[in-house]
Copies of this chain bind each other. A is one copy, B any other.
Amino acid sequence: MARGEFALIDRHFRAVGALRGDVVLGVGDDGAILRPPPDHDLVAVSDTLVEDVHFPRGAAPRSIGHRALAVNLSDIAAMGATPAWSLLSLTLPAAEDDWLAEFATGYASLARAHDVALVGGDTTRGPLVVGVQVLGFLPRGRGLRRAGARPGDRIFVSGTPGDAAAGLALLQARLSASAAPEQAAELRERFEFPAPRVALGRALLMIASACIDISDGLQGDLAKLATASGCAAHLELERLPISAALAAIHDAEAATRSALTGGDDYELLFTVPPAHWPAIEALRGTVGMPRIAEIGVLREGEGVVLTRDGCPVPQAHAGFDHFA
């Protein structure tokens, strides 16, 4: 079959991603056959990007390919797991060769960087919707969850939340930063090509008491962790890690709001009991780790309490919710 969806899939997606010895049968049959390592549990995540919801119409296809995989790798990271295999369900209004090539490049580069094979999926004509699933491994009986944090545990976050939301605003021209073009480019990059924190998640498996990735905004995702753990999360606003780029285009209040409620960061938000605080210091000195900031503490109670210099301040707007 020299044309049609089968040829398309073949041409662009047959060689995408890492080559792995544990893929017994990859793309091209009714299903993939995969060989999990002994004494490990499997982690399965699934996340979908929809045009006009998760990325603007006309977004760069390389960024869409990257982000579709990145948001799933971020979920894998939040479980402390090691990613291995992915499936891609692509619904497209039209099969354009250039678009597919760029999309596949974005997907493939990130997949190879994390040793993830593309083992299956499907392609259909329709509105632009990109569904990805990633499978990974955990040593049997382990895994980071949203539940597990205890009063007294400190709260940490990787990277600099709020950058991606500002980057999206710049891409959509809802925000302009003509006086700071380099910083604006950095923020756009943070939206278009987020770095999933897989190595950090794996390292946290022995250290963190709970973990979640920030996809819907730091404050909203912290609330989910606090609820699952049955604690109150006290978030110390003066400790929020604001990037130099974000500070260059926003005043302090807008930067804080972006860091609290901006979505699409794909950073890890996690809690660490006192016995493991030295391990966080050690991680900070490790090559390849993102910035790690301590931003608060868990106490008895419920919900998120925002504080500045020890005093409570009013709640900002809650996290992103598609059906709010």
With A35-B140, A323-B95 known as contacts, the answer to whether A120 contacts B4 (CB < 8 A) is: no
- Whether B324 contacts A3 by the Cβ 8 Å rule is yes
Cβ of A150 under 8 Å from chain B? no
A212–B28 Cα distance when bound, in Å, is 11
- Whether B50 contacts A91 by the Cβ 8 Å rule is yes
**Interface-side segment among A37-45, A56-64, A107-115, A168-176:** A37-45
| Number of A residues, CB within 8 Å of B | 71
Cβ of A191 under 8 Å from chain B? no
Cβ of A182 under 8 Å from chain B? no
Among A43, A125, A145: residue with most chain B CB under 10 A: A43
Cβ of A131 under 8 Å from chain B? yes
Cβ of A156 under 8 Å from chain B? no
Please pick, from B5, B31, B50, B133, the residue contacting A81 in the complex, using a CB distance under 8 A.
Answer: B31
**Interface-side segment among A71-79, A234-242, A257-265, A289-297:** A71-79
Q: Which of A276-324 contact B (CB under 8 A)?
A: 321-324
- Whether A4 contacts B48 by the Cβ 8 Å rule is no
Q: How many whole Å from A34's CB to the nearest CB in chain B?
A: 4
- Whether A321 contacts B6 by the Cβ 8 Å rule is yes
With A8-B323, A123-B322, A129-B129 known as contacts, the answer to whether A34 contacts B43 (CB < 8 A) is: yes
Cβ of A138 under 8 Å from chain B? yes
With A131-B131, A213-B30 known as contacts, the answer to whether A89 contacts B52 (CB < 8 A) is: no
Q: Which residue of B lies closest to A319 (CB)?
A: B1
Cβ of A65 under 8 Å from chain B? no
A74–B322 Cα distance when bound, in Å, is 32
With A4-B324, A125-B53, A212-B30 known as contacts, the answer to whether A44 contacts B75 (CB < 8 A) is: no
- Whether B24 contacts A122 by the Cβ 8 Å rule is no
* Residues of chain B contacted by A48 (CB below 8 angstroms): 89, 91, 122, 124, 129, 131
Among A79, A119, A136: residue with most chain B CB under 10 A: A79
Chain A residues packing against B (C-beta within 8 Å): 1, 3-6, 8, 24-25, 29-36, 38, 41-48, 50-54, 75-76, 78-79, 81, 85, 87-89, 91, 95, 119-127, 129, 131, 133, 135-136, 138, 140-141, 143, 145-146, 211-213, 223-224, 228, 321-324
What are 25 A-to-B residue pairs whose CB atoms are below 8 Å?
A1-B223, A4-B324, A5-B321, A6-B321, A25-B145, A29-B146, A29-B228, A35-B140, A36-B36, A44-B120, A46-B122, A46-B131, A47-B122, A48-B89, A48-B91, A48-B122, A50-B91, A50-B126, A52-B126, A89-B131, A95-B323, A123-B322, A124-B322, A131-B131, A133-B133
